Structure 1
């Protein structure tokens, strides 16, 4: 999936309603630094001046094209929609307008939030305090899971990877406050400082809350470290075969008998005879860890998970401390956004689809769907031609690849049908309860899917999201309205810029169907091998070569890119660029050579379009966090990384052998 980086003062952001008559430049040539050779550092050449003119706002850890458009969508467009609704009176209870208006009001009502203190948490804290056995703890964890509070393991519902038409229950590892195992294992000074800061953060949160647990920071860090050592790494989690382990639900009690799985599931209303585990060994060893852990430690851990989950909806001291650690220490953000901006974003987070319906109606005309559909079909046609020309794949596997490619479906802009959200109970003076009601709604929606046929019309992103995705279980690509705007798609731009932008994005998502993970799913979305053994070996050899290449790129001292973690996105970038380039070339067949624009030919402008989509600045802490946790390479390496493998780039910019942006032919990787 494409990254919505930072999930934003900005020369490209508006502070008023956008002028629909104003033309947006295709590519701002003032971004270019001609003192840098495009053949030595293309990101530097195309974006150095942009980076100087666009420092990272204190409220963000990353700042680039995604963030700028996201800020426009949320802080201008959605803000206008929400403020207009908030002015209305007499809104019917349960209507989407009432929910939006009252949630926004509740988030801004800091007087009531301060007055209530931790009182909203009391029913849950009382239950944690009442735990005396591991069986009690399992029951409380089950109740807390419904409202999004993490514990050592969790359930989820999605299509069965080996029977993609039906929904199944999945069981996975969970419960790490720092998000990823490497944060508990690395011994470099920056990561050790994160652990030290985390310990102090927990201690401060407990002190402010009046909790009397002894040494809570050290206690929780020690427990989570022990838990982390048992978990699969984020690289291991990429293997869909290794993480598909279907078992009888009753087997959980054999794997981890000390944990009351029935109580845990009953509290969540999870009823199933089977489930699919990520890692049976984790459940077994984790169960042993729980049995050996003092119950008071588990209660301390659970208090923090509850407090951390809802810190942003509690009095200012908790909100501020939560931001200090997770915002500043973890990602380098210097300041919280103003409360009004946060209210807009929080309303979007809770009621994204009702808002999305209004956003799409106002900002995404039906005509745009047809334009994007044509783009998708152009990419599909070029992908088929690329498959036919592959030298490393046999005819029998090519036939199956074509079958999968033709089976691709797509969604554009917004859903064709909208869910009923009226059961979410939003009250303007009860922010916490409104958040809980929205969480319970999402939980119940998931529970209703268990054992039922998959609804392939469902969207996993809201229309206003600046992102796109490929879903291997549906074999579909999805492009929300939010990303179908400049600089990704600019109706005022020349074709070369748009092909380097939105067409490369479309190609990226298509290629996910054939990356290291997607290539293991067939045309119907099932985890099923459709390759000959030799062809699979050829693909894996190319992928390993690309992993080695990216792993050799040091993003900052002591932190190299994790080629194995980012391989799916890196393959998709290379594939997307290649498909877009040849789609553009095909569109020009039989036509006159396009005239130079701003002194650059169409081939050069294609790559400038790519560089414009990914230009970005990032904080040091944000970069460290991304390298350890994100399957996407940092923006600079999404620009520069694939280009040395493309002879088309070297030709466009007349780069000779020995240039940094050119690899010897034998070292290049061409997969799709």
Structure 2
């Protein structure tokens, strides 16, 4: 269904957090007759284990995979969404809740879904059946894009690298059913076996769309051949990782003549786009598509479009469709053993097609105004702490300090929901057809995406939904973004004392704001221009600091593995941000509480450490050690605290103990 291309300068980091145990372990008395190591020595040896002792005891090591405090907040946010949708289904409060309640009810009514069968896609299939000549193909492509089913190619709104305050329409490669275009052209045995199973899936879906048994093989061959032709003209996925490779502005005025068969001028009009330029970074692909529209028989395009519609809609239709989709996409591609529970499938569908609607209601229900204000207060203090650290520190030279100060003074802090006006004029959904509602909602969301294209719209978008726990620095627009779902325990628990809120939420804010100043942030200046505002001396200073941090973490064992160390090459950037985050949050605490008590200091350090509680089984640890760009929880908790002199003071740690090393690393201090 509807697909969204990531922001060119993506939200820096999305951090989910979960339930923690805020009570003091020091208050617990040892059992009679048993010795107990003093709390101070435990804290000075492995503060992560001490701070999370209750959580680790309550959450035993799984046989496989992982459980974490980080994941528990995501689970809670999902339950909150379920509760909200249940209430909207029973007694909706307003127009948007009526839409959501009907959508939710239609998805949960499996009997109705089974009865509905293929009815939701019948109008789309009829539209495809109406193709008679070459000139009918391009309008059919445009019509399917309008309902959120991108066929033949992709078209999405994204940042204009010439002007970060606007969105541009991006024509991109797409329209394939396999995740990597290389699958269509490789000749090794494993790839051939995968493509064979993919063809089996195509046969099942085409049969469900109404293709006669005698025509299945022909239709499958036609659809697969067209996808293969498209794949041959697409670029390898590795080339797409650099956003500059996707950016090639062209005037829209000439597209109709240049690609006569694709009718790209009419396509843009159908999507509601009237901008004077778009990005088209792979003209060879679109030349090939234009040629294919002109030279292939309409019957081959019909086979391909039937397949693409069936594949896109299969998860939202009756069981034969869902089973076919899961057997290939779930089992073969993802290695899943069984489908997600029905409620999860329906919730995922609603977030995909109507996520902003649900986000609006979620924030209104679950984000207290007091939490929003407290988040703004703490985030402001952390930003101010970074300004002072930049001014007083030696990391940047005079020119760099001026640019950094300007950047931070212009920083926008957006809490809860995006500052964006949406038009909630949506066709009534009703409760009779889940697949039909999916198309209604997807059509609405696609139209909202297209409205982003044009001048002055860039700062209105988030690439994350309010109901998804996330806290991120948006480099392109110099914004701190905090979703509504993030502002609850353990990140910002209203029941916590302020010191613990600074240690948790404040340190996460500091982590993110450090990205405005780091090796990534150096490429966008305070005015939003894409340029390097560092001098060579600053770059060399940062490299030396990064190398020092890398050496520290590279010496640490990766928990759950046998002899594996933390990968410095993978984790250095995020490790450095963790160190900066705690450093800045502690400085912000001293602004709010100039002379914190020992108890308050300990609450601050507990706030940080308890974010990272996790139990990771050996199989998962082996994978994470090779792939995860963040350090494991034990070291995310401990290492930044080791760098704080106040930690050793608060817990009376002797210099030379693990949590009070003789030498420390300062980032901005």
1:111 equivalenced with 2:111 (yes/no): yes
* Alpha-carbon distance change, 56 to 195 in structure 1, aligned in 2, over 3 angstroms: farther
Match of 1:26 in 2: 22
Residue correspondence of structure 1 range 314-353 to structure 2 within 5 A: 314-331=317-334, 333-344=336-347, 346-347=349-350, 349-353=352-356
Residues 272 and 450 of structure 1 are in contact (CA less than 8 Å); yes or no, is this contact kept in structure 2? yes
Alignment partner, residue 162 of structure 2 = 162
- The answer to whether structure 1 residue 306 and structure 2 residue 312 are counterparts is no
2:480 is paired with a residue of what secondary structure?
strand
- Distance of 1:540 and 1:195 partners within structure 2: 45
1:611 is aligned to: 612
CA 1:198 to 1:606, structure 2 compared with 1: closer, same or farther past 3 Å?
Answer: farther
CA distance 1:505–1:4, shift in 2 (3 Å): closer
SS at match of 1:271: coil
| Bigger Rg, which one | 2
Name the CA shift for 1:625/1:442 in 2 (closer, same or farther; >3 Å).
farther
CA 1:591–1:536 in structure 2 vs 1: closer, same or farther (change >3 Å)? closer
Determine if contact 1:199/1:217 at 8 Å carries over to the other structure.
no
Aligned CA distance change for structure 1 residues 176 and 399 (closer, same or farther; 3 Å):
farther
Distance 1:183 1:386 in 2: 51
> Once the 2 structures are TM-superposed, how far is the Cα of residue 397 of structure 1 from its aligned partner?
1.3
Find out whether 1:640 has 2:651 as its counterpart: no
* 1:423-572 paired onto structure 2 within 5 Å: 423-454=426-457, 456=459, 461-494=464-497, 497-532=500-535, 534-536=537-539, 539=542, 572=577
- Gap change, CA 1:84 and 1:229, over 3 Å in 2: closer
- Partner residue in 2 for 1:19: none
Of stretches 216-225 and 356-365 in structure 1, the one that deviates more from structure 2 is 216-225
- Give the superposition deviation at 1:375: 0.3
More displaced 10-residue stretch of structure 1: 204-213 or 267-276: 204-213
- Partner SS for 2:432: coil
Structure 2 runs not aligned, ≥5 long: 1-10, 27-36
Provide the residue aligned with 1:400 in structure 2: 403
CA contact (8 A) 1:73 1:464 kept: yes
* SS at structure 2 position matched to 1:427: coil
8 Å Cα contact 1:147-1:436 kept in structure 2: yes
Deviations 1:25-74 (A, max 9, x none): 316969xxx9xx9999987887698578548999x987533442233233
Alpha-carbon distance in 2 for matches of 1:157, 1:197: 34
Counterparts in 2 of 1:289 and 1:544: CA distance versus 1, 3 Å = farther
SS at match of 1:477: strand
Instruction: Tell whether the 8 Å contact from 1:570 to 1:642 is kept in structure 2 after alignment.
Output: no
SS at match of 1:523: coil
Say whether 1:236 aligns with 2:238: no
Q: Give deviations 1:72-93, integer Å, cap 9, x for gaps.
A: 2332x3333333332349x98x
Partners of 2:100 and 2:130 in 1: CA distance:
36
**After superposition, where does 1:570-581 map in structure 2 within 5 Å?**
572-581=577-586
Q: How far 1:466 moved relative to its partner? A: 1.5
Distance 1:618 1:183 in 2: 32
Question: Given the superposition, is the C-alpha separation of residues 352 and 645 from structure 1 closer, same or farther in structure 2, using an over 3 Å criterion?
Answer: closer
Tell me the distance in 1 between the aligned counterparts of 2:624 and 2:223: 21
Contact kept? 2:500, 2:607, Cα under 8 Å: yes
- Give 3-state SS (helix, strand or coil) of 1:265's partner: helix
Q: CA 1:355 to 1:250, structure 2 compared with 1: closer, same or farther past 3 Å?
A: closer
Quick check: 2:239–2:245 contact (8 Å CA) kept in 1? Answer: no
The aligned residue for residue 30 of structure 2 is none
Match of 1:81 in 2: 84
RMSD: 5.4
1:272 and 2:275 are equivalent in the alignment:
yes
Contact 2:473 2:480 in 1 (8 A): yes
Q: Does the alignment pair 1:65 with 2:69? A: yes
Secondary structure class of the residue paired with 1:170? strand
TM-score (norm: length of structure 1): 0.74
TM-score by length of 2: 0.75
User: 1:655 offset after TM fit, Å?
Assistant: 10
Which residue does the alignment assign to 1:590? Answer: 595
In structure 1, the residue corresponding to 2:168 is in which secondary structure? strand
With over 3 angstroms needed to count, the CA separation of the structure-2 counterparts of 1:416 and 1:274, relative to structure 1, is: closer
Unaligned runs of 5+ in 1: 13-23
Counterpart Cα distance in 2 of 1:220 and 1:623: 40
Instruction: Tell me how far apart the structure 1 counterparts of residues 633 and 435 of structure 2 sit (CA, whole Å).
Output: 40
For 1:436 and 1:479, locate their aligned partners in 2 and report how far apart those are by CA, in whole Å: 30
Residues in 2 aligned to 1:253 and 1:346: alpha-carbon distance in whole angstroms: 35
Query: Deviation of residue 480 (structure 1)?
Result: 2.2
